[in-house]
Structure 1
Amino acid sequence: MKIDLSGKTAIVTGSTGGIGLAIAQGLAEAGAEVVITGRSQENVDAALSTITGAARGVVADLGMAEGCAALIAAEQEADILVNNLGVYGRQDYFDISDDEWERYFQINIMSGVRLSRHYAQGMRDRGWGRIQFISSESALNIPADMVQYGVSKSALQGVSRGLAKVLAGTGVTVNTILPGPTRTEGAVSMIKGMADDRGVTPEEMEALFLQEKRPSGLLGRFAAPEEVAAMCVYAASPQASATTGAALKVEGGIVESIS
């Protein structure tokens, strides 16, 4: 199968590192013209320097309505929108403040809601488009130490499924992607902090994390960002025209379900 996205413009939010940058690179390699987004010019420029293919950048804080408006002003149309922007972190449930809940809501959910509301209309009118929301296996398997994160990702899947119904029959597909533990910069930092707390090496802590926190996993390791990106590139392709309203798992078998 050869995926050809030539002539398509793809916006990937939160794409200066981690899974987002890997998705941007994968889309660019498939021929799309990619728009990188981030909160600082320095980070956007650094990400652009790594992309092989056509790419440009927009600096905006997409966790705020004003930032989404700034991106829309800079990029009026897109054929592919990957709502990757998100935050996560371990926190005791009883210490999660109202402000923290609101922060997760704005960044993890409303950024995608706002951008999809705009870009989906142009896709619908042109008769072709791909919208993705990067969710997580934590949406189905909510971690006790990251309840706020899991809940935000569950809500994101609701948005995705609902939007897929809104756009039924238009040529625009909408899907969520569910990664599992993935070796991003943020995950490496989190594992190092846990390792320091336990007095073990990061390598030992990664194995312990999988055994203790994700015991149902079948992969036996953290995924690489490029492995998640491969699913995103396929879902963005013309070949994926019959895949919509779906939750596409790249979680290494953690979710105990055959559906």
Structure 2
Amino acid sequence: MSFIPHLTKSVHHAGYPAIDPTNPKLSASGKTVIISGGAGGIGYAIAQGFAIAGAARIIIIARRQEALDESVASLNAESAAAGRATEVWTYLLDIRDSAAAEDVFKSIRARLNQGKLDGEEPIDADVLVTSAAELLQGKMSIEFSAEQYRGSFDTNVIGNLNLVRAFLAPEIPAIPFTGLDGIAKDTSSVPVPKRKKTILDVSSSSSYLVIPGQGPYASSKLAFTRIMQALQAEVDLIEGQPIRIHYFNPGTIYTPGVAKLMDEEAKNAIKGFIFDDYSLPRGFAVWLASPEAEFLKGKYVMSNWDVDELVALKEQYAADPTFGTITLKQ
């Protein structure tokens, strides 16, 4: 979109060599990747990307069994055709249910550690992608009902937070914290986490651009991004800083969700507008989870931005903690 400010001169609308999941530098070999909303749309494209990058297993979470069955069949067929050995697991889950989310992650950990001997280092998932979202638009901010706002926040904030909490459950006791009252959390008896973990939140440009008609969606996406900003600062207190969090705009893609809000006629009426291809978030998410993008933790980025140009800005990111963040401009 022309009104979106970009940090790089080159702006992409589809995948390109630097984010190609087949690039050995972006290998996800041995990784376990959990993706919510991974049964379709952007989430499924990201699942494809990690499978192409050689992930050991892709775990897809969704609310509809039919969608899960279709996605696992498609991913398995693609992997078989390409000679890949990626396992695909699926879990039926309404992410708004915190207890159910905890149970799913307990089940995942139990399955990952099946057959391990006592005393061996437990296996856990490496990457969490929060892609499930509720998209509402088309009314004035005050025309949306309280129930519609609650629905957006229940999924886009509470639901995604349930996943992050369950994903980081083993690390939470070891995260140092001192409250405003000066009382420090006692972590002396807890081992320092060593496993590197990455959270990729599929965010939106609506989280920082003022776009009329997106009150519930924009505010809920911004709220979750803000929570993740705070969480990154908190987990950075762990020795070695093994956890990194990224939030990124996947591009403007004509997903099934968008199609419900904008039919083909309306889509074609937007003269000169270029919708992005699924290959863009498919590759960008894999790149973002790679060591090359570690300097972008806690920063907002867009899939459209050229990654080589982003790497060239590495020193600027390091010198200015507010660069690439949603913050007050002075």
Q: Same fold (TM over 0.5)?
A: yes
Structure 2 residue corresponding to 1:96, chosen from 120, 132, 144? 144
Amino acid at match of 1:36: I
CA distances 1:183-206 after superposition (whole Å, capped 9, x unpaired):
2112233220xx6xxxxx34523x
CA distance in 2, matches of 1:26, 1:75: 21
CA distances 1:52-96 after superposition (whole Å, capped 9, x unpaired):
232110011113324423422322331100111101022422332
1:83 maps onto 2:124 in alignment: no
The 5 Å alignment of 1:102-121 reads 102-121=150-169
CA distances 1:214-243 after superposition (whole Å, capped 9, x unpaired):
xxxxxx411122202221111112333332
CA contact (8 A) 2:95 2:162 kept: no
Identity in percent: 23
Match of 1:236?
A: 289
CA distances 1:130-153 after superposition (whole Å, capped 9, x unpaired):
111111001111321111100111
> Secondary structure of the equivalent of 1:234?
helix
Match of 2:87?
A: 54
Amino acid at match of 1:145: G
CA contact (8 A) 1:137 1:179 kept: no
CA contact (8 A) 1:173 1:244 kept: yes
CA distance in 1, matches of 2:210, 2:91: 33
Count matched residues.
237
Relative contact order: is structure 1 or structure 2 higher (C-alpha 8 Å, sep ≥ 6)?
Answer: 2
Match of 1:68?
A: 101
CA distance in 2, matches of 1:202, 1:49: 33
Match of 2:224?
A: 156
1:45 maps onto 2:98 in alignment: no
What TM-score results when the alignment is normalised by the length of structure 2?
0.66
CA contact (8 A) 1:9 1:35 kept: yes
1:227 maps onto 2:306 in alignment: no
Larger Rg: 2
CA contact (8 A) 1:62 1:68 kept: yes
Amino acid at match of 2:223: A
CA contact (8 A) 1:16 1:37 kept: yes
CA contact (8 A) 1:136 1:178 kept: yes
What TM-score results when the alignment is normalised by the length of structure 1?
0.83
The 5 Å alignment of 1:1-259 reads 1-2=23-24, 3-32=26-55, 33-51=57-75, 52=79, 53-76=86-109, 77-92=124-139, 93-122=141-170, 125-168=193-236, 169-192=240-263, 201-205=265-269, 207-208=270-271, 220-250=273-303
Amino acid at match of 2:143: D
| Structure 2 spans left out of the alignment, 5+ residues | 1-22, 80-85, 110-123, 172-191, 307-322, 325-330
Counting helix residues as a fraction of each chain, which structure ranks higher?
1
| Structure 1 spans left out of the alignment, 5+ residues | 196-200, 212-219
CA contact (8 A) 1:13 1:83 kept: yes
CA distance in 2, matches of 1:66, 1:102: 19
CA distance in 2, matches of 1:252, 1:183: 19
Change beyond 3 A, Cα 1:203–1:157? closer
1:126 is displaced (CA, Å) by 3.1
CA distance in 2, matches of 1:110, 1:149: 13
CA distance in 2, matches of 1:250, 1:6: 22
Name the Cα RMSD after superposition.
Answer: 2.2
Change beyond 3 A, Cα 1:65–1:241? same
CA contact (8 A) 2:102 2:166 kept: no
CA distances 1:36-65 after superposition (whole Å, capped 9, x unpaired):
111122110101112123211001111332
CA distance in 2, matches of 1:84, 1:78: 16
Amino acid at match of 1:40: R
Match of 2:121?
A: none
